[in-house]
Chain A
């Protein structure tokens, strides 16, 4: 064998070695060796992970033959990764499901109907808030056990409120109307100051040099801004659950117009160029740097506010509109993948995560409200310890609420809604036009 061929062979051998080496380093993939089962659990919130892990530790103790591995992926990549995994039939056994995606998943048959399991194990669904359970039902199939709930309320900076001479009670009892803004705008005007200390209702107010605004709003699809105003104005986002979008109705458009006015007419809300998704600053950042006194945000962001404001914030109820109170009431679920190789064990996990013991562990950490209403007080207590009264969220949940729209066209809506509404907030598009465009595009989606 010539020197040259020896060299070539050596190279080929190196190559083969490399491949062999890396293949050997790969996992054997056995997730059920000798009776032991490994389950994969997909989530997207790193903040909730520690509490979840505690609950899972308890689960593993009770089920020595089951190991659970949490797979954390950022929200931004969660859904694309999940779908790709589904294409390869290798999605996690249990995963967090969202109302925006659930209808599509149910339609495509990638979720397991839990009703047979629920019946067999005699799981009592009445412990959950019925609104939440209904959100995961289609016909008589139950596609997930409720995991938590959240609503939107007003989060405010305590010091800034005090300086303006307002109390939380003041903030919780406001009303707005599309004509003159009502007591809501009046309060926000008190909280808005330009560089010279003038309020918007005073002469000489310089709207180009505002030091502090009364309110900051932001939402990629409306959940933390216009959906709430819309509900308070009597608008229905859909004609019925699993039905068509109806956001082009006058009551909805009026609410959208009112938000545009808050920014461009009354000058009490932070300009859209600062808060528009995705380039805008996040609401906790806007509040933290004192650019606004109040934000409308969901209970999921509480830890972010605590990190930056350390107890110097409070939660007040949303104002009432012409049709009364209203907020968006939503919740996630734990879903069982239809392609799971260990459905029985996965059901055990889902059952556990929906149990009172598990929820007690998780609620004590104060990261999310529980789906079992009797545990709400634990959540409030966890936050009272940190110096914040979060009960306004629970109060709002008891009042008038709308759920996240249930429709297979949610994904289309979420993609189509961002740009036109960003334009509305910037004052470059009329609310009616934007609503019309988004409404027809969403309803036309053939999914």
Chain B
């Protein structure tokens, strides 16, 4: 992916003077060998522990298997059933809803947080640790704590709301609120973590650019939208792609807090896969649904890469 620019910074001579001709052939061969040498360890892991199991999943999706007996070949039957399974499509909608609730909120909050933390602050180090703590805590304990917190009568959330005179809803028993609750918990858990990346990205923007902008009399707003945001895009791309991929695969919170209810409103694709594979003894069908989830994530991620490809600056010199 070539680097294009759309920033107001004048290009340096070194870059624009570079010829378009590639390196000499012998040099090219050497580069290829070096590349593969560097890649070998991760390739080993990639092929053995990532690609091979995925091929396994694809193969299993053409079988009917309950893990205990022998697999039985069924061809495309699983896929055909999946297309007509209203519960699967409900899961798709639920998952998309969850991602839509989760990612924008998380990203915006993390960005604001990173901007706020990108300065000399008294106690900044401590505050940073505190924000990252939610991501570091063990999920099993958090499940217990959050179920307590959202108890409609004795939980912290509704008790706090009643102090403000608001009678809180039934949260996890309400079809309206269950998914937003799960999304908020995820936002709570990952905002600090996302902030770290964006903060690192902000720190990578050279001070000289801002100084030049100051000299030109650029306003704070312009500075943010014309310099900061564009130059933050490599970090943004990373954060969005990885968070979206993770968001589509959310499982723990559903498992501990709602088991897909109430009334199927929090039945996400990954939870559905788990149920089919491990509670209903249908590993083959679960594998087919996993392929659907994969296709969905692939689509969304490809769209993100396309959007960012045209707009991203990589080289800040």
Using CB atoms and an 8 Å cutoff, list the residues of chain A in contact with chain B.
8, 11-12, 15, 76, 79-80, 83-84, 86-87, 104-105, 108-110, 271-274, 276-281, 289, 291, 411-412, 414-415, 418-419, 422-423, 426, 428, 445, 447
Q: Which listed residue (A86, A271, A272, A273) contacts B68, Cβ 8 A?
A: A86
Contact of A277 among B66, B259, B263 (CB under 8 A): B259
Which residue of B is nearest A81, CB measured? B278
* Assembled-state Cα–Cα distance A412/B66 (Å): 13
A419 adjacent to B263 (CB under 8 Å): yes
In the assembled complex, which residues on chain A have CB atoms less than 8 Å from the CB atom of B150? Answer: 279
Sample 19 A-B pairs with CB under 8 A, ordered by A number. A80-B278, A83-B68, A84-B278, A271-B153, A273-B172, A273-B173, A274-B151, A274-B153, A277-B259, A278-B257, A279-B172, A279-B173, A281-B151, A291-B153, A418-B259, A423-B262, A426-B170, A426-B173, A447-B281
Q: Are A278 and B256 in contact (CB under 8 A)?
A: yes
Residues of A close to B172: CB separation below 8 A? 273, 279
Whether B278 pairs with A79 at a CB distance below 8 angstroms is: yes
Q: Which of B187-230 contact A (CB under 8 A)?
A: none
A423 contacts which chain B residues (CB < 8 A)?
A: 261-263
10 nearest A-B pairs in the assembled complex, by CB-CB distance: A80-B278, A108-B68, A279-B172, A273-B173, A273-B170, A87-B67, A419-B261, A83-B67, A273-B152, A108-B69
Q: Are A108 and B66 in contact (CB under 8 A)?
A: yes
B72 to chain A, nearest CB (A): 12
Q: A8, A276, A279, A445 — which one has the most chain B CB atoms within 10 A of its CB?
A: A279
- B159 located at the interface, meaning its Cβ lies under 8 Å from any Cβ of chain A in the complex: no
**B274 CB contacts on chain A under 8 angstroms:** 80
- Complex CA–CA separation, A17 to B256 (angstroms): 40
A86 surroundings in chain B (CB, below 8 A) = 67-68
- Across the interface, B279 reaches (CB within 8 A) one of A105, A289, A291, A411, namely A411
Contact (Cβ within 8 A) B154 A419:
no
Judged by a CB distance under 8 angstroms, whether B260 is at the interface is yes
CA distance A307 to B79 in the complex (A): 50
Residue in B closest to A420 when the chains form the complex, CB atoms:
B263
A12 pairs with B281, CB closer than 8 A = no
Q: Nearest A residue to B283 by beta-carbon distance?
A: A87
Confirm or deny: B8 has a beta carbon within 8 angstroms of a beta carbon on chain A: no
- Interface residues in B32-62 by Cβ distance below 8 A to A read 37, 40-41
* CB-nearest residue of chain B to A18: B41
Q: For residues 269 through 315 of chain B, which have their beta carbon under 8 Å from a beta carbon of chain A?
A: 274-275, 277-281
Q: Is the CB of B281 within 8 A of A104?
A: yes
Distance in Å: Cβ of B276 to nearest Cβ of chain A = 9
Q: Which residues of A contact B170 (CB under 8 A)?
A: 273, 426
Let me know if B249 is at the binding interface, CB within 8 A. no
Contact between chains at A8 and B153 (CB < 8 Å): no
User: Contacts A105-B68, A279-B171 given; 14 further ones with Cβ under 8 A?
Assistant: A15-B41, A76-B255, A83-B278, A86-B67, A274-B153, A274-B154, A276-B173, A278-B256, A278-B258, A278-B259, A281-B147, A281-B154, A422-B262, A426-B262
CA–CA, A84 and B154, complex, Å: 39
A279 and B67 contact, CB distance less than 8 A = no
Q: Within the complex, what minimum Cβ distance (angstroms) separates A222 from chain B? A: 15
Query: Which residues on the A side are within 8 Å of B37 (C-beta)?
Result: 8
**Chain B nearest CB: distance from A328 CB in Å?**
21
B279 contacts A414, C-beta separation under 8 Å:
yes
Asked if B75 CB lies within 8 Å of chain A CBs, one says no
Q: Which residues of the partner chain A approach B69 to less than 8 Å between Cβ atoms?
A: 108-109
Known A-B contacts A86-B67, A273-B170, A278-B258; A411 and B280 likewise in contact (beta carbons under 8 Å): yes
CA separation between A79 and B88, bound complex, in Å? Answer: 23
Q: Is the interface of B mostly helix, strand, loop or mixed?
A: loop
CB of B252, distance to nearest CB on chain A (Å): 11
Report Cα–Cα, A289/B150, bound state, in Å: 16
Query: When the two chains form their complex, are residues B152 and A271 in contact, meaning their CB atoms are under 8 A apart?
Result: yes
Q: State A291–B154 Cα separation when bound (angstroms).
A: 10
CB distance from A307 to the nearest CB of B (A): 16
**What B residues does A276 contact at CB under 8 A?**
173, 262
Q: In the complex the two chains form, is A412's CB within 8 Å of B280's CB?
A: yes
Q: Is the CB of A274 within 8 A of B152?
A: yes
Chain A nearest CB from B284 CB (Å) reads 12
Q: Knowing A279-B258, A422-B173 touch, does A411 contact B67 (C-beta < 8 A)?
A: no
A390 → chain B closest CB, angstroms: 28
Write out the residue numbers on chain A whose beta carbons fall within 8 Å of the beta carbon of B41. Answer: 11-12, 15
With an 8 A cutoff between CB atoms, is B246 at the interface? no
Residues of A within 8 A of B154 (CB): 274, 281, 289, 291
Cα A289 to Cα B151 in complex, Å, equals 13
Q: What is the CB-to-nearest-CB distance from B226 to chain A, in angstroms, rounded to a whole number?
A: 42
Question: Is the pair B40, A12 in contact by a Cβ cutoff of 8 Å?
Answer: yes
For residue A110, which residues in chain B have a CB less than 8 angstroms away from its CB? 68
Q: Is the CB of A428 within 8 A of B263?
A: yes
Enumerate chain A residues within 8 angstroms of B259, measured Cβ to Cβ: 277-278, 418-419
| Given contacts A108-B69, A274-B153, A415 and B279 within 8 Å (CB-CB) | yes
Asked if B264 CB lies within 8 Å of chain A CBs, one says yes
Q: Cβ of B262 and Cβ of A419 under 8 Å apart?
A: yes
Task: Report the bound CA distance from A422 to B258 in whole Å.
Answer: 11
Shortest beta-carbon distance, A44 to chain B, in Å?
15
**Cα–Cα distance between A105 and B69 once the two chains are bound (Å):** 9
A84 touches B67 (CB 8 A): yes
B267 to chain A, nearest CB (A): 9
CA distance A374 to B196 in the complex (A): 64
Q: How far is the CA of A336 from the CA of B143 in the complex (A)?
A: 34
Q: How far is the CB of A407 from chain B (nearest CB, A)?
A: 14
Task: Give B289 Cβ to nearest chain A Cβ, in Å.
Answer: 15
Q: Which residue of chain B has the shortest Cβ distance to A281 in the bound complex?
A: B151
Q: Can you name the residue of chain B whose Cβ is closest to the Cβ of A278?
A: B259
Do A419 and B264 have beta carbons less than 8 Å apart? yes
Kindly provide the distance from the CB of A434 to the nearest chain B CB, expressed in whole angstroms.
Answer: 11
Least CB distance from B146 to A in Å reads 9
